[in-house]
Amino acid sequence: LHHLLFWDKIKYMLEYTREQLWQQFLPLFYPKSIAIVGVSHNPLKIGTLWLKGIIDAGFPGRIFPVNPRGGEIFGLKILPSLRDIPEIVDYVIVTIPRENVSGLLDDCAAKNVKAVHFFTAGFGELNDVAGYRLESILLEKARHGGFRIIGPNCIGVYCPEARVPYGPAGKIGKSGSVGFISQSGGIGEKLVELGFARGIHYNKGISFGNGIDLDSADFLQYMGVDPAVSVIGMYIEGTRDGRRLLKAMTTVAPVKPIVALKAGRTETGAVAARSHTGSLTSAAAIWSAMFRQCGVIEVHNIDEMADSLLIFQFLREWDGRGIAIIGGLIDGGGGISVTAGDVCAEHGLDVMPLTLETQQELSQLLGRVGSILHNPVDVSQANGNPAIIKKALELVINDPNIDLTIIQEDIGILHKYLPEVIVSEINAMFIDLKAKYHKPMVMVLPPGLAEAERGQIEQEFNKASIPVFPSMERAAKAIANLKYYSSFKQGLRNYND
Amino acid sequence: LHHLLFWDKIKYMLEYTREQLWQQFLPLFYPKSIAIVGVSHNPLKIGTLWLKGIIDAGFPGRIFPVNPRGGEIFGLKILPSLRDIPEIVDYVIVTIPRENVSGLLDDCAAKNVKAVHFFTAGFGELNDVAGYRLESILLEKARHGGFRIIGPNCIGVYCPEARVPYGPAGKIGKSGSVGFISQSGGIGEKLVELGFARGIHYNKGISFGNGIDLDSADFLQYMGVDPAVSVIGMYIEGTRDGRRLLKAMTTVAPVKPIVALKAGRTETGAVAARSHTGSLTSAAAIWSAMFRQCGVIEVHNIDEMADSLLIFQFLREWDGRGIAIIGGLIDGGGGISVTAGDVCAEHGLDVMPLTLETQQELSQLLGRVGSILHNPVDVSQANGNPAIIKKALELVINDPNIDLTIIQEDIGILHKYLPEVIVSEINAMFIDLKAKYHKPMVMVLPPGLAEAERGQIEQEFNKASIPVFPSMERAAKAIANLKYYSSFKQGLRNYND
């Protein structure tokens, strides 16, 4: 019911109907054919790299390399012009210098293409008359030609489901449910890379650079109605129309979580943004207030963005409250308990006391000497015995005060004291408990002296839908963001009831 | 002159003369002989592990295993009692249960030992009458017996120079100039592990647990006058005598940087600290105010502690002001520039505009399209050419406005676009430039898709005295801490002049 309610709201508040959004964005994210303008015989040329990336990614549609000089590459005929393409072209990637771009757009209009993506830079971000004039020519030709522009000065579309890779390096990951909208191609690339490293699986992403036509508000509206996208990360330097973005955020945020990183918050950052995407930034406080008003989760750096996308990928909403912290799987649980307790409390999480019953049972299991048993729980007195750690964990997970369990595993210290089979047994046990009790579990695996093992275990937890963070601080912040969004939704429900 | 001035001040304000401090602490950090009480034939017993750790670390002094049952282990005769040891014993490690501890202390007095370290737990941290009574018996016997107590409930001494490893796992690293004083054995272990991983080289460390006799104030006084220690990290849950600690901090902070992590800042953390080391914590704001008053650098988690120790290890003081940020070694410099500019500015660093001359030369070198040249500097238009990156870097390093350069190297992206030899060439070039110009250089190497390569390059930078951080945020915070301490010292100089 609530879902339908919000759906009605979305229909009402978006500028376009769902059908219009599909019509505009499907050829862009799921193109039937792609033309790449600026391919040459030089394998290191950017257009050629782009072509190779799309072929290597296994893009199933037609691919048309374009260069006035013609020729052949990777077994494909290079066509002299877009007009020579014998079929319909959905998506055009432009890598030629800005001087040659204007004529190309007439070809796009003639070919009736749907979207033109300009990797080419050298427009408004140069802050000179020539750059702005070029942008207005582009925009005018797009309006008359009936196609949309992505960019200029960007990496464009990423859609693993459609086998469209991110950028000329041809990166493509497993398709998932996370979306990103990034004004910066480099930040998009970083998000894709962190996706591989952290197990964040994207459904689609976009880097739109100067955003002279399609802007963050457009992509946000589309991702808002795209059922394949469950959470949206946004990297914003500025926008040409704050009111549109506000409206889009207000409409989409109640339906799916939006995690936003506003860059150019400071004078230093703002000057850089001016040269980067030609963005005029405004006061950081205004943006923060707008995010709060819309229920958008604001983050302050790319790591926090990745952390939040990761947790929302697995735990889209969370109705709970009480958090348990487990540390000292083999040693060092005391300091971890104190510092983790501080960090979680400072981020506004409720580290709830365990019931007296649980505390008594833990005391019988672990003994009082050397143990910390109220929560945080130091299980080091189990001396690395997987059966005892398991019993302790089950007591905590099933405590009525506990809705989410954070486990800190110092993998370097574990490997120092325990044989590898025991470490594996302990990790398999966590995964079993997660599957058995269906209560949210979050792992903290700090970097240290067993990096290869840590990477492998992180992947195993990812497969089991257990998010992994490199520090208690970052886990706490991500859970706090999850809690923030859940409270926002709860508030909306109370309002609507 | 200033150095002498402070030295006089230290002599005046410390409770002990330098000679008294040497006398008390040398047998503890540089013992001529160690006795381990509680060694058995079981190789997994904690006393036996401890013995093995000390032997494996290559401790050059005499080692005496003690157990009433006698026997032999690792080629050493197990003596039935301390009194049976035919030589002088400096340092005793106690691993037997708390019930048997009292009689042992009479033996310590009889043998005239200098320091007794209780790994044994089960005292004041249990918050029961028996625990407190035991502690007061220990203390009384120590006073009468003329020896000092470390602990109970702790890991004790770490001194790589003397080949005394940290804890029963026998960890020992390269000797350096960093000291740590940790109430928690686990946090000490984490610091040692992070030292291995991050290239922080300790001179000595101490975990003192409940601190019933020697407390943080004692160790701080000693490390304050120990010329081998250049920076001191402290992990504090509470203290028995705040006034003594305040006095020690006030005296030592002007001479060498003290980085302090106060745990138990929140109710949750404080409850855990109560069970951990029996510490009664007081309001976090009081501690923070005390740190500020003394010129102590306060950090809020263990990663920030490691980051600060790392930067102070290489850059003890820094007289500069202007910071340059370099990003986009091959791609993605735009978003990095904007976000890095924000982060550094938000941490109070001065990201100074480059001189017009430098900007013009950079513009000639890199071109304007796709570049950001005022600072942060995006060098992606060098297309990974080491010679061009080098020229750009030299321009920035030698700009009169710049005193420190932060370089972000996204190693996963570099390896994606460039052959390995070129990546190596770029990294060797950074190290050369650091050596050539003697200006502080800080590297940011974010984790990602080339973890093995990243680890290797981090080690190379470490060897070249270039501190490496995993994110721009953490680099900025560490530099801000360095700046804070440098300003504090500058203020003292102005006051004394």
**Phi, psi values for residue B442, rounded to 5°:** -125, 130
Q: What is the dihedral of CA B308, B310, B316, B321, to 10 degrees?
A: -60
DSSP code string of A183-229: S-HHHHHHHHHHHHHHT--EEEEEE-TT-SSS-HHHHHHHHHH-TT-
Partners of A261 on chain B (C-beta within 8 Å) are 339
Task: Please indicate if any CB of chain A lies within 8 Å of the CB of B135.
Answer: no
The answer, yes or no, to whether residue B150 has pLDDT greater than 90, is: yes
d(CA A137, CA A152): 12
Which whole number is the average pLDDT over B60-79?
Answer: 95
Q: Do B335 and A263 touch (CB under 8 A)?
A: yes
Closest in B276, B332, B417 to A338, CB measured: B276
Task: Check if the beta carbon of residue B375 is closer than 8 Å to that of residue B405.
Answer: no
Radius of gyration of chain A (CA): 25
- The predicted structure's pLDDT at residue A7: 46
Q: Do A473 and B303 touch (CB under 8 A)?
A: yes
- The predicted structure's pLDDT at residue A1: 34
DSSP character for B374?
S
Using 50, 70 and 90 to split pLDDT, how confident is the model at B284? confident
Q: Provide ipTM, 2 decimals.
A: 0.87
Q: Do A196 and B449 touch (CB under 8 A)?
A: yes
Tokens describing residue A102: 């204007």
Partners of A346 on chain B (C-beta within 8 Å) are 265-266, 300
Radius of gyration of chain B (CA): 25
Highest mean pLDDT among A98-107, B443-452, B469-478 belongs to B469-478
Question: Strands (DSSP E) along B200-277, which ranges?
Answer: 202-207, 231-236, 258-262
Task: Please indicate if any CB of chain A lies within 8 Å of the CB of B121.
Answer: yes
- Give the residue with greater pLDDT, B442 vs A41: B442
- The predicted structure's pLDDT at residue B320: 83
Task: Check if the beta carbon of residue A207 is closer than 8 Å to that of residue A164.
Answer: no
Q: What is the dihedral of CA B272, B277, B282, B288, to 10 degrees?
A: -100
In 3D, which of A306, A70, A282 has the Cα closest to residue A188?
A306
Across the strands, what pairs with A438? none
Across the strands, what pairs with A64? A35
Cβ-based neighbours of B128, under 8 Å, separated by 6 or more: none
- Give the residue with greater pLDDT, A214 vs B332: A214
- Give the residue with greater pLDDT, B98 vs A431: A431
In 3D, which of B242, B246, B224, B259 has the Cα closest to residue B11?
B224
Q: Global pTM? A: 0.91
- The predicted structure's pLDDT at residue B370: 65
Q: Do B268 and A410 touch (CB under 8 A)?
A: no
Choose the weakest-confidence range: A6-15, B148-157, B210-219. Answer: A6-15
Using 50, 70 and 90 to split pLDDT, how confident is the model at B280? low
Closest in B342, B372, B412 to A265, CB measured: B342
Cβ-based neighbours of B427, under 8 Å, separated by 6 or more: B409, B457, B460, B461
Taking 50 as the pLDDT cut, the residues of chain A under it are 1-8
- The predicted structure's pLDDT at residue A281: 66
Is there a cis peptide before residue B152, judged by omega within 30 degrees of 0?
Answer: yes
Using 50, 70 and 90 to split pLDDT, how confident is the model at B4? very low
Note the helical H segments in B398-471: 411-417, 420-437, 451-463
* Distance to chain B for A20, nearest Cα, Å: 32
DSSP character for A82?
G
